[in-house]
Structure 1
Amino acid sequence: MAAATATATAGSTWALEMHIHADYTSERIMTPNIAISFVDESSGDEYELHLSKVTSAPWQLPMVGSEERFGAIVTGEAQAPADLSQPGACLVVFNHNLWSKIDRLYFAKLTAITKSQPQARAVSFLTNSWVAGGVKRIFFTGQPSLPDGTPPGLMEARQKELASLRGEDPNTEDEGPRSGADRIYAYDVYNDLGGAGQGDPNRHDDRPILGIQGPDAKLPYPRRLRTGRKIDTNGYEAHLAPGTTPWVPYDEKFFASKQDSFSVAPLYAIGAAASSVVSQLFGAKPDINQFASFSAVEDLFSRESAVPAAKQDIMNRIDDNPFDLGDEALRKAYKGFPDTVRQAVEEQLGSPSPVPTWFPLKFLFRNEKILRLLQGLLARWPMPQVLDQRKITWQSDEEVGRQAKAGCNPFTIQVADKTFLDDSKLGPEDFAGLLGGMTLQDAISQRTLFYQDYYTVLGEGIAPQVQKLLDKKDKAVGYQYSGRGVFFQCPETKALAIVVIQLCEPDTQHWQLYSPIRSRPEIWQLAKAVYSSLDSAVHQLISHWLKTHATMEPFAIATRRQLSAMHPVFQLMQPHFRYTLDINANARSTLINAGGIVESIFTAGPCCMEFSAKVYGATWKFREQGLPADLMARGVAKQDADELHVNADELLLKDYPYAEDGLLVWDAIVEYFDMYLRMYYSDDVGSDKHVKKDDELRSWYHEIQTKGHQDAKDVNGDCWIELKDISSLVQILATMAWIGSAHHAAVNFGQYAYSAYMPNKAAFISHAIPRETVDTEGRPTGPLAELLNDYEYHFLRTLSGPIRALKTMLLVKTLSNHAQDEEYLGGASTEWALDPMARRAKAQFDVSIAEAEHTMIRRNKDGKSRARCSPSGIPYTLLYPSTQTQAVTMRNMGMTGRGIPTSVSI
């Protein structure tokens, strides 16, 4: 692009308006020094604008903690030369003051309107981006353009911008650690999960690299964003320096209010320090590592019930607000802890910073980590839905089945067929008296028998490794069962109940079969709890992390690298990648890393991520990630249904809230995407607008398959959807949008409701289920006798202890929160698309998604649905697109259990 000459004749007067902020600091934006130039869409010439009559008005942002934050709405006027035909882009430079904390600005909106033309022209530039100080950025207008339709003056700029984002610009340094304003997107394997001794097999914190990058690599995995940190001789990435956060480009980073709500998560789960505190809070016998009874677990959720005196004494020092625990109240509570407890806490987290005694008392307590720990330990927790007014319901066989359809992991239930019976070696005698009078053959042929498979991969690939660690007395792992659960759907009521559980003991082929008929009631209850722990692990590691977070990251990277901001697909899909790279980077450094929170609460411990990698390599297919294809692959919808459209009456598993409500959302997405894409593409094979002639689109999809998800098995072309026409593109994009929005909402925002109460979804198994051993007179002996003599204690002793239970509660509470600045399907406030045609399509989608929500609300009032409305049912709200039926408040801390964010953002 060439700069226009200074002698250009004055032409139109343009009024400019910018909405900008720097929400990472409380410093106010006054009148920023911003240089703007127009780029002529025909010639590519640059025309520098000299702003006059500049004004700046405050613009209130979401609060960060208790601090108010403000942006600015800046307006001004400028003369453009007469030979400017039409601005196709603008160049922006923020000249920041070195003495100011503001070193970058977020441009939420930038518009220009002519004032001196007979008929005013308005140009809106698509921004939604950070501009770092001293860096020239280009923003194109909001008019979408396929590559071949790019105005001639913008073609070079379009290609140059993409090359820069790929790190191919000669002026861009692609070597060394990324930092600050770098805007480079590249791929890397998961070589950043190990501890300080990664690569050293003798170190406890060594973890295998996930992602095949050499002949010896055996763990396929999606790729992540490359950070450029140094790689050692073993292929591991250098550790983050203490106190630093993972790098991601500014445009991927959380806004400050979002960062504030997420950053407390790792502080909440400091188990080593918490162990001594927990000993003061919960009744336990004979040691502090186990709950004594169900009531001891329930005491976590209510101040009204009887609680141990030590906990009650501490709670009495706390103000009445259950979440907004002020520093002063926490300081007083901490002062009441026994000296030994405070010593244990401070050994892990440091002492409160000493200050002169004449300071006001509230300034004496300055250790933020201790404050956060206390907030987590002492806050009154909301009653989880699974326990609320249904104290014993969670133990029922039907409730286990109901959660398989409408809990937080409704993605694994499959129809049972002859192949399943052959693999499981289950026969008619195993189901005698369990099928409501039906024979096993009838149940199979009438498709009323369903199952979950938590043996394949887990039993053969992970349990033996966990057992080896357990044999070495490694306390980081537990007793890793694997197995299957079989469910029967009552033909009359459509209720689903678990009827048979097969559990394989670790590192053996010894199977135990449990059922409500052949097992003692106490053993059956314990078998269900152990089986539910398998479901808990699969939920978090597979259905959640792998199938949403890890799966979406390569899509987000490829979109930045291969699709211009001018591209209609970029503008359509960008909302579905919001915050994903940042949340994943944070997760790799605090949640799924060696010794991280996930390893510390699940039975598999250090083998957790290896489990997810083996499942990815064995089962993941992109074409099965969209809802209709997924339902058909699991056999719970008719096999001859359309991969784009499955009707609720084609579901074989009845009263299935996740599928029923999900299909409403899926259909709305498909209808919207189809309408949108037909504005820009044609199915006429001779047209320049055919999808196969779009070089950027083809490069994007090719890169996803060959770089981002290069380890995915594609046998006989069954992994990927072929890109051949508009309908196939709709399916591809709808699948990605579904994963990032509705699938993630269904898997994530119900976690507190079902997993906060540990006995319902324990993450950890500490001991084996007792064998049913008796003496010569038929009296129970050994562990079985102990279980029968003190059922609640030994039941709970088998599962997570207080420390792991608390850490699990803190984790799922954090993950279940909606942020202040969340953007929801059908209600996004950010202007991701500016084309009037696109806006009309989006408005129609908003109407469709609102109608879908009204239908869901009606369904939740339908007394015929046992999954939603029976005495044991819970209204299924996880796929309500909005939170209008329960707003985000300080009291619920964002745990509304409803609302579909556009992206994987927590």
Structure 2
Amino acid sequence: MGNQPTTRIAEDRKKTIKGRVVLEKKNFLVFEVTDLGASFLDRVHELLGKNISFQLISADHHESSGTSFVHLGFLRYHWFTKIAPLKIKELTYEVSFDWNEEMGIPGAFMVKNNHHSEFYLKTLTLEDVPGHGQLHFVCNSWVYPSKQLVILRGTGSGMLQKWDRVYDYAFYNDLGNPDDNVESARPVLGGSSEYPYPRRGRTGRPPTKSDPKTESRLPTFFKGLEIYVPKDEQFGALKLSGFLGYGLKSAVQFSVSKFWAQFDGTRDEFDSFEDVLKIYDGGLKLPDGVREKYRNILPLEMLKALAPSDDISNGIGSDDKSAWRSDEEFAREMLAGVNPVCIRLLEEFPPTSNLDLELYGNQNSSIKPSHIEQNLNGLQIKEAIKSNRLFILDHHDSLMPYVRRINATPTKIYATRTLLFLQKDGTLKPLAIELSLPHPDGDQLGAISKVYTPAKHGAEESVWHLAKAYVAVNDSGVHQLISHWLNTHAVIEPFVIATNRQLSVLHPIHKLLKPHFRDTMSVNAFGRQVLLNDGGLVEKTVFPGRYAMEMSSFIYKNWVLTDHALPVDLVKRGMAIEDSNSPHGLRLLIEDYPYAVDGLEIWFAIKTWVEDYCTFYYKNDEMVLKDLELESWWKELIEQGHGDKKHEPWWPTLDSCHNLIDTCTTIIWVASALHAAVNFGQYSYAGYFPNRPTISRRLMPEPHTKEYDEVEENLDNVLLKTMTAQHPALMGISLIELLSRHPSDEVYLGHREPNWTMDLEPLKAFEKFGKELKDIEERIEKRNGDKSRRNRVGVVDVRYTLLQPYSQEGLTGKGIPNSVSI
């Protein structure tokens, strides 16, 4: 913890400790031209005595004349001369060190690479350490040539190269391409009050010609694989190959769908829901007359193999093809779907708006008592509110500032409010949906709203189903851009950067948090290159289109780190109240709220683990206060990583063990369980896109019009014409299939590399954490088998498994990885 003075033991008392190093070198298949020369120079320099040096460092601190110091061992030099094989595999080398028992136990080591080529240092194992026995160090880090080393913080300027290991900050100024055309420009996110945003990892590419504030983009998908990410943050070879493989599959699927559409009478449209289901029932099929003509170009076997998924079991639409239409399922997914983090208690009626009155006029709800009173099971509205029975899914204030601009494009949306009533069986019943548009004469004149209520017959029933579809579109966009991208991916990246810049690898908080940052910078960089950029997959498949990232910046203005602690979030949304007689001191107002029930068990398991860990290293608050590395880390995280929020009063002060534990628990929760809850169910719930359409293309038809008559006559046809078209739907399905899939090398919560610390108590605490997670998994499975818990399975027979800690590879709809890794 921090830099310490050092001393050395006398030469005449040294002993030899033998050990072995396990590493990987770059093999021929990944060599570049410069590597060939470096490899030759390595051989020459080894002959000249230039090699790799190791030096052990004592784990024991000693006091002398009021100064704390640690012992350094004697320098030893080694030659790692084996040629790397074609197939990547581990290489083992024998090493030896000089040491003395008086120096205590080695707790770390320094390594310096005097070669010209980097190598990946996996482990160092020491045998027969005096007074201890075997010691094992897990490294898992690239060791770069000393002449190429750049300090982790970098210089803040210049274009970073793939051999660099620099962690630095930048704005989101690489999403647009103004050199292409004006429409391809995107605002810089971060660094302004208009567009605040978390920072991303700096790449340092040169600016565009048209706009010096915009960073130039890499021109193609495959060039995008070269986007700079610090070496230690890059995907491993196994994950990268799988990621590219499924990415290629997704690209081919879309190409095939476009080809297939050429022979469809209604290009880019699904003719019926049966056409949608064919995607999953054996793949895409060409008409008979075309089959023979194009057999040699595109065999049917390929079409079948490239269907969006080989498995939609346990997904919406897999069994009962119409259950997703029910009001019960529509409401249940607000508690146990892919976006269960937005619903809140309704505390006043009618609902009000927090939008600026001068800018947006009166945006309060137009829902009246007459719209809902007949569905309150005999209660008056005041009684329903007092007994905590009314809830709301409110996508009004977050969307209204963008509705006019979005509706100027081919996309047509509403700002929506959905009111729900908690029934005695624990399920929610939709009461009313309000669809709002900005006043045609100006935003400052307020909203123009219409209210729709449940109906069982005729045109009113069809219109009600259509209103639910508009709500689903909004919820899909808010989920993808806010609940998923902004509140997990984007907000965590500054923590990754600050931790590597300010906390040494030996620091206990660095060791605690490191597993929860794995692959985050890589997946975010990939997202900026092909998903979130101008014309990227997100803009093509989610309703805000070109305003997607700008809208997430608007929501970030209200982001508060501490609000994302699960207990705080539940209380703030009115979904729980503090109750000392309830488990964990919280009582859920909806007892069968699967996300909250499972989530609270995971949250407090994480918190107990973090508390056990931190109190081992910080015996009192004074130790936290005096930790200069910790202070620098937190200061930089606030002032640079989330620099646009640095003046916010809510930031906790790391002046106590309590605050440190709460902060680390929140970081781990967001990076692991929260991300799992909003990511890995995407295919189960949205793979059947009619359940969660992402785009709407027409507004609600007005009564006494031809379009309104069509709603009554053929609702399915209207839904398919109104919601996501065929090509965006297939692109979206392919994207969420990729995002919902666990890779084969996933590392789940409660697991990490062996021997990650030599301290016995933290190892025991981590083992206890793992056992608790297994117990939680068993309890979740038991709850899912309880038929009285109607929100856990629902009429579509999709169990809530998203917070079950463990999973196998593939599309499983469960499993909590340690980090935002996909």
Q: TM-score, normalised by structure 1?
A: 0.78
Equivalent in 80, 86, 90 of residue 72 of structure 1: 90
Shift of 1:374: 9.1
For the residues of structure 1 that align with 2:27 and 2:820, how far apart are their CA atoms?
Answer: 22
Indicate the residue corresponding to 1:292 in structure 2.
271
Indicate the residue corresponding to 1:12 in structure 2.
15
Indicate the residue corresponding to 2:653 in structure 1.
722
Moved more, 852-861 or 786-795: 786-795
Per-residue displacement from partner, 1:560-582 (whole Å, max 9, x unpaired)? Answer: 11111111111001111111111
Moved more, 828-837 or 173-182: 828-837
Alignment of 1:795 with 2:729, yes or no, is no
Indicate the residue corresponding to 1:429 in structure 2.
370
Equivalent in 515, 522, 544 of residue 462 of structure 2: 522
Q: Is there any run of 5+ residues in structure 1 with no aligned partner, and where?
A: 59-67, 98-102, 138-162, 168-172, 318-330, 338-370, 471-476, 774-780, 889-893
Q: Is there any run of 5+ residues in structure 2 with no aligned partner, and where?
A: 32-38, 59-68, 353-363, 441-446
Alignment of 1:511 with 2:449, yes or no, is yes
Shift of 1:404: 0.4
Shift of 1:133: 4.8
Indicate the residue corresponding to 1:187 in structure 2.
169
Secondary structure of 2:691's partner?
coil
Alignment of 1:90 with 2:109, yes or no, is yes
Give the counterpart letter for 1:230 in structure 2: P
The answer (yes or no) to whether the contact 1:479–1:506 under 8 Å persists in 2 is no
The verdict on how the C-alpha distance between 1:280 and 1:379 changes in structure 2, with shifts beyond 3 A counting, is: farther
Equivalent in 559, 564, 567 of residue 620 of structure 1: 559
Indicate the residue corresponding to 1:237 in structure 2.
215
Indicate the residue corresponding to 1:634 in structure 2.
573
Indicate the residue corresponding to 1:132 in structure 2.
144
Shift of 1:92: 3.0
The answer (yes or no) to whether the contact 1:863–1:870 under 8 Å persists in 2 is no
For the residues of structure 2 that align with 1:680 and 1:674, how far apart are their CA atoms?
Answer: 10
Map 1:707-718 onto structure 2 (within 5 A). Answer: 707-712=640-645, 717=649
Give the counterpart letter for 2:429 in structure 1: A
The verdict on how the C-alpha distance between 1:335 and 1:428 changes in structure 2, with shifts beyond 3 A counting, is: closer
Map 1:203-602 onto structure 2 (within 5 A). Answer: 203-213=182-192, 218-231=194-207, 234-240=212-218, 242=220, 243-244=222-223, 245-264=226-245, 267=248, 268-269=250-251, 273=255, 276-279=258-261, 287-303=266-282, 309-310=286-287, 334-336=297-299, 376-377=306-307, 380-383=310-313, 385-418=315-348, 421-422=351-352, 423-459=364-400, 461-468=401-408, 470=409, 477-490=410-423, 492-505=424-437, 508=440, 509-517=447-455, 520-602=460-542
Shift of 1:637: 0.5
Indicate the residue corresponding to 2:702 in structure 1.
771
The verdict on how the C-alpha distance between 1:529 and 1:24 changes in structure 2, with shifts beyond 3 A counting, is: farther
The answer (yes or no) to whether the contact 1:113–1:120 under 8 Å persists in 2 is no
Shift of 1:584: 0.5
For the residues of structure 1 that align with 2:22 and 2:796, how far apart are their CA atoms?
Answer: 50
For the residues of structure 2 that align with 1:549 and 1:127, how far apart are their CA atoms?
Answer: 26
The verdict on how the C-alpha distance between 1:73 and 1:120 changes in structure 2, with shifts beyond 3 A counting, is: farther
The verdict on how the C-alpha distance between 1:736 and 1:203 changes in structure 2, with shifts beyond 3 A counting, is: same
Give the counterpart letter for 2:565 in structure 1: G
The answer (yes or no) to whether the contact 1:266–1:597 under 8 Å persists in 2 is no
Indicate the residue corresponding to 2:605 in structure 1.
668
Shift of 1:49: 2.4
The answer (yes or no) to whether the contact 2:686–2:692 under 8 Å persists in 1 is yes
Indicate the residue corresponding to 1:904 in structure 2.
820
Map 1:757-836 onto structure 2 (within 5 A). Answer: 757-773=688-704, 781-829=705-753, 831-836=755-760
Indicate the residue corresponding to 1:740 in structure 2.
671
Alignment of 1:164 with 2:151, yes or no, is yes
Per-residue displacement from partner, 1:809-855 (whole Å, max 9, x unpaired)? Answer: 10000000111111001133455434222211111111111111111
For the residues of structure 1 that align with 2:6 and 2:556, how far apart are their CA atoms?
Answer: 51
The verdict on how the C-alpha distance between 1:262 and 1:846 changes in structure 2, with shifts beyond 3 A counting, is: same
The verdict on how the C-alpha distance between 1:126 and 1:381 changes in structure 2, with shifts beyond 3 A counting, is: closer
Secondary structure of 2:174's partner?
coil
Alignment of 1:681 with 2:618, yes or no, is yes
Indicate the residue corresponding to 2:76 in structure 1.
49
Shift of 1:541: 0.3
Q: Give the superposed CA RMSD.
A: 3.6
The answer (yes or no) to whether the contact 1:21–1:105 under 8 Å persists in 2 is yes
Shift of 1:505: 3.0
Indicate the residue corresponding to 2:357 in structure 1.
none
Shift of 1:770: 1.1
Shift of 1:289: 1.9
For the residues of structure 2 that align with 1:752 and 1:613, how far apart are their CA atoms?
Answer: 26
The answer (yes or no) to whether the contact 1:93–1:136 under 8 Å persists in 2 is no
Indicate the residue corresponding to 2:356 in structure 1.
none
Shift of 1:74: 1.0
Per-residue displacement from partner, 1:283-328 (whole Å, max 9, x unpaired)? Answer: x55x212111111111111129xx75539986x99xxxxxxxxxxx
The verdict on how the C-alpha distance between 1:389 and 1:120 changes in structure 2, with shifts beyond 3 A counting, is: same
For the residues of structure 2 that align with 1:598 and 1:376, how far apart are their CA atoms?
Answer: 21
For the residues of structure 2 that align with 1:297 and 1:311, how far apart are their CA atoms?
Answer: 19
For the residues of structure 2 that align with 1:876 and 1:10, how far apart are their CA atoms?
Answer: 63
The answer (yes or no) to whether the contact 2:389–2:421 under 8 Å persists in 1 is yes
For the residues of structure 1 that align with 2:81 and 2:128, how far apart are their CA atoms?
Answer: 16
For the residues of structure 1 that align with 2:455 and 2:316, how far apart are their CA atoms?
Answer: 25
The answer (yes or no) to whether the contact 1:2–1:46 under 8 Å persists in 2 is no
The answer (yes or no) to whether the contact 2:55–2:73 under 8 Å persists in 1 is yes
For the residues of structure 1 that align with 2:120 and 2:498, how far apart are their CA atoms?
Answer: 23
Indicate the residue corresponding to 1:655 in structure 2.
592
Shift of 1:428: 1.4
Give the counterpart letter for 2:24 in structure 1: H
The answer (yes or no) to whether the contact 1:56–1:73 under 8 Å persists in 2 is no
The answer (yes or no) to whether the contact 1:683–1:726 under 8 Å persists in 2 is yes
Shift of 1:657: 0.4
Indicate the residue corresponding to 2:358 in structure 1.
none
Q: Percent identity?
A: 32
For the residues of structure 1 that align with 2:811 and 2:174, how far apart are their CA atoms?
Answer: 31
The answer (yes or no) to whether the contact 1:411–1:543 under 8 Å persists in 2 is yes
The answer (yes or no) to whether the contact 1:278–1:803 under 8 Å persists in 2 is no
For the residues of structure 2 that align with 1:44 and 1:857, how far apart are their CA atoms?
Answer: 52
Indicate the residue corresponding to 1:36 in structure 2.
53
Secondary structure of 1:262's partner?
helix
Give the counterpart letter for 2:570 in structure 1: L
Shift of 1:482: 1.4
Per-residue displacement from partner, 1:66-125 (whole Å, max 9, x unpaired)? Answer: xx954225141425266994645433355668xxxxx5432222122247x5x4544443
For the residues of structure 2 that align with 1:627 and 1:882, how far apart are their CA atoms?
Answer: 20
Indicate the residue corresponding to 1:322 in structure 2.
none
Secondary structure of 2:139's partner?
coil
Give the counterpart letter for 1:418 in structure 2: E
The verdict on how the C-alpha distance between 1:898 and 1:708 changes in structure 2, with shifts beyond 3 A counting, is: same
Give the counterpart letter for 1:681 in structure 2: Y
For the residues of structure 1 that align with 2:406 and 2:806, how far apart are their CA atoms?
Answer: 42
Q: TM-score, normalised by structure 2?
A: 0.86
Shift of 1:44: 6.6
Per-residue displacement from partner, 1:524-568 (whole Å, max 9, x unpaired)? Answer: 111111110100001100000000000101111111111111111
For the residues of structure 2 that align with 1:697 and 1:870, how far apart are their CA atoms?
Answer: 47
Moved more, 744-753 or 421-430: 421-430
Give the counterpart letter for 1:541 in structure 2: L
Moved more, 33-42 or 390-399: 33-42
- Number of aligned pairs? 768
Indicate the residue corresponding to 1:107 in structure 2.
121
Give the counterpart letter for 1:49 in structure 2: R
Indicate the residue corresponding to 1:170 in structure 2.
none
The answer (yes or no) to whether the contact 2:502–2:629 under 8 Å persists in 1 is yes
